[in-house]
Amino acid sequence: MQATAPASAAGTYQVPPLTDADRAAAFPTLHAHHAHSDPLVWMVQADRLEYTEDDALAWEGQAWIGRDRGRLWLRSEGERVHGATEASLEALWGRPVDAWWDVLAGVRHDQGHGPARDWLALGVQGLAPYKFDVQATAYVGSGGRSMLQAEAEYDLLLTNRLILQPRIEAVLHGRDDPARGIGAGLSRTSLGLRLRYEVRREFAPYIGYEWSNRHGRTAVLARDAGDTSRASGWVAGVRVWF
C-alpha cells in the first residue's frame, strides 16, 4: 500500500501576507508638486505666411506663453502690398473655461490705411463640435467705435500628411470710419481653401485660393477711392510652428 504524501509536500503555495513595504511600493505617496504641477510652456505658430497673386505678402500668426490656468497670447494679422503695410497686433490674457475653450481679454492696435486705431478686446477661441476651430472677438475703441471679428476653419485629412483646410472670416463695424475706408455693418468677408502637405508636423507648405468681398458702405468707399470691392486669387505659402 502506497503512503499518502503530507500536505506540505504536495506543492501547495501559500501567499505571503502583505506588508507595509509592499503597500508603499504599489501606492507611492504623490507629493503636491508632482500631482498638481503646471509647468511654464510656450509656442510660436504662423498659420498663414503666404505670397498672393496680387504680389502681396500676407500673414496670420500667434504666440503664447503661460500655464494651464492662464496664458499671454500675442496675435497678428496683416499684409504688405506695393510697399504699404496694413496690420493688427493683439496682446491678450486667456483663461480656460473648459478643456476646449478659452476666454481672452486685452488690447489691439491697428495700423496701415488711414490713422492708427486702438481697441479693448474680449473674445473666445476654441474647438467647436465636429472639430471646427473657432475664434470670435469683440472690440471697443475711442469715439464710440466697435468691431466684431469672427473666423472658423476646419482640417480635412485626405491622408496622414495631406490636409485640405477651408476657412471663413467676417468683420462687422458698429459705425462708419471713412478715414480708414470702413462703413457700418458687415464690412468684409473672406473665404479660403488651402491644401497643405505636412513634411513634418511643424512645417507644411501649401497652395490655395482666396476670395474676399467688401460689403455695404465699405464697398462704396472702396469704389469711390478707385479700389475694387471684390478680389480673388491663388496663394502659396507655408504653415510653421515651434
| Residue 1 pLDDT greater than 50, yes or no | no
pLDDT band at 118 (very low <50, low <70, confident <90, very high): very high
Residue 51's pLDDT is 96
Q: What is the largest CA-CA distance in the chain?
A: 120
Read out DSSP for 40-104?
Answer: -EEEEEEEEEEEETTSEEEEEEEEEEEETTEEEEEEEEEEEETTEEEEEEEEEEEEESSSSEEEE
Residue 32's pLDDT is 45
Dump pLDDT digits (tens) for 171-229. Answer: 999 999 999 999 999 999 999 999 999 999 999 999 999 999 999 999 999 999 999 99
Query: What are the residues whose beta carbons fall under 8 Å from the beta carbon of 47, sequence distance 6 or more?
Result: 60, 61, 62, 239
| Residue 36 pLDDT greater than 60, yes or no | no
The 3-state DSSP class for residue 174 equals: coil
- Which comes out higher in pLDDT, residue 20 or 144? 144
> Residue range 25-32: average pLDDT?
56
**Any idea how long the chain is?**
242
pLDDT band at 82 (very low <50, low <70, confident <90, very high): confident
Sign of the C-alpha dihedral computed for residues 7, 8, 11 and 15 taken in this order: positive
pTM of the model: 0.83
Contact in structure between 168 and 190 (CB atoms under 8 Å): yes
| Domains of the chain listed by start with CATH number | 42-241 (2.40.160.160)
Residue 25's pLDDT is 67
